[in-house]
Chain A
Amino acid sequence: MKRVDVARVLGEETTTEDLFVSSIGGILDDWWNHRPGGEDNTISVSILGSVSSTALGLAIALPHRRIVAIETDGSVLMNLGILCTLGAERPSNLTIVVLDNGLYECIGSAPTLTSRNADLEKIAEGAGVLNTATVTDEDTLRALLRSQLEDDELGFVVAKIEPGMEVWPQEKRRYTDGVEDKYRFIRHVEKLEGIVVHAGQPHV
């Protein structure tokens, strides 16, 4: 199972009603091409270590809506403490999918510490996170996502993936920057929720 396979399965098992917080790096273009509905439903945060915390804030803000965090081993390893907060808060509408290839693949495939003895599923379980699991194939991933996305409980799936980055043609690559991403995501949330997130103030 490769990164792009996880993106495809996740895209097929989620809907245009869901919201996503993803890491940047290798997943960016894979998810851009597999996100449900081609909507502006994903904020791809530009830092390792803040994906799950951002998803937690979003999940608390919108408790009626399914939120999926698309994490990576490098990102989770950078801020393991957030797992303790997730284990304490246990938002029922949040599912975390960790792409774990044991590598910092984008910067030349230096190994992460999951390539040695660190086990993210066990760390998360020890932190109090519910429904932790590790999967290595597409069918198991799909079955697990179906149950985790529907179970109304916090979920944490470590998807062990093989190295290898999909090379997308130029026209299929994500081209937006972080500021445009934010505004597009906000406008999507406003439409989806029927709320105003950022209206600006009248000139005074």
Chain B
Amino acid sequence: MTVTEHEQSQPTAELPPYAVAFVDALRQANVTLVGTLPESLLKSVYVGIDRAEDIRLVRVSNEADLPGLVAGAYLGGKRALMITENSGLRQACEPIARLAFAHHVPLVMVVSYRGDFGEPNWWGHNHSQVMGPLLDALRIPYRIVDRIDQLASSVEKAFLHADASQWPVCLVMTGECIEGGVA
């Protein structure tokens, strides 16, 4: 079962296992700053990061602000990443190209896979139709993460890959790794 867009309440008590594992993965990778424009598929992750005293969550009003935020943190020697719905990639394209590419910044991005197979929302399908071709056009390597036991290694590998290549990378969350999701 996948969550429907009508289930919008924020988690108030115990976080689901994927969100706990996600925050643990960030902690293991020494991530201290996360920039986001929150969305529903990873909503417990944002709550989990907000509760984590060792990871700062910065909310923006437009995904185009995120590459700069993450780039600035990188230049200051901190591990940071941005999290958005996959539709946010479109909004962030210009700073990805003109900031991250022009300066070779190892931008680590995490997006939720809105529109993955079984998507119940009509408006979500174009997000997935565009996501792969867009990431390919941008020449950004990406990996789909759909199992909780892949989270920690995927986040660490994303930082290693980005840092070694001095180029952005993207993790695409789906399956067990989104709200209410199953493999």
- With an 8 A cutoff between CB atoms, is A189 at the interface? yes
CB pair B99 A47 closer than 8 Å: yes
- With an 8 A cutoff between CB atoms, is B133 at the interface? no
Give the one of A56, A62, A89, A196 with max B CB within 10 A.
Answer: A56
In whole Å, how far is A120's beta carbon from the nearest beta carbon of chain B?
17
What are 25 A-B pairs with beta-carbon distances under 8 A?
A: A43-B75, A49-B94, A49-B95, A50-B65, A50-B71, A53-B72, A56-B68, A56-B72, A57-B35, A57-B71, A60-B73, A81-B61, A81-B62, A81-B65, A82-B60, A85-B58, A85-B60, A178-B104, A181-B103, A186-B75, A196-B77, A197-B74, A197-B76, A198-B166, A201-B163
A-B contact count, CB below 8 Å? 132
In whole Å, how far is B90's beta carbon from the nearest beta carbon of chain A?
16
> Which label, helix, strand, loop or mixed, suits the secondary structure of the A interface?
helix
- With an 8 A cutoff between CB atoms, is B67 at the interface? yes
**What separation, in Å, do the CA atoms of A143 and B164 have in the docked complex?**
45
> Among residues 56 to 89 in chain B, which have CB atoms less than 8 Å away from a CB atom of chain A?
56, 58-62, 64-78, 80
- With an 8 A cutoff between CB atoms, is B6 at the interface? no
Size bracket, chain A contacts: 35 or more
CB pair A50 B163 closer than 8 Å: no
- Chain B's closest residue to A83 (CB) is B61
Q: Which A residues form the contact surface with B (CB < 8 A)? A: 21, 43, 45-47, 49-62, 79, 81-82, 84-85, 88-89, 178-179, 181-182, 185-186, 189-190, 193, 195-198, 200-201
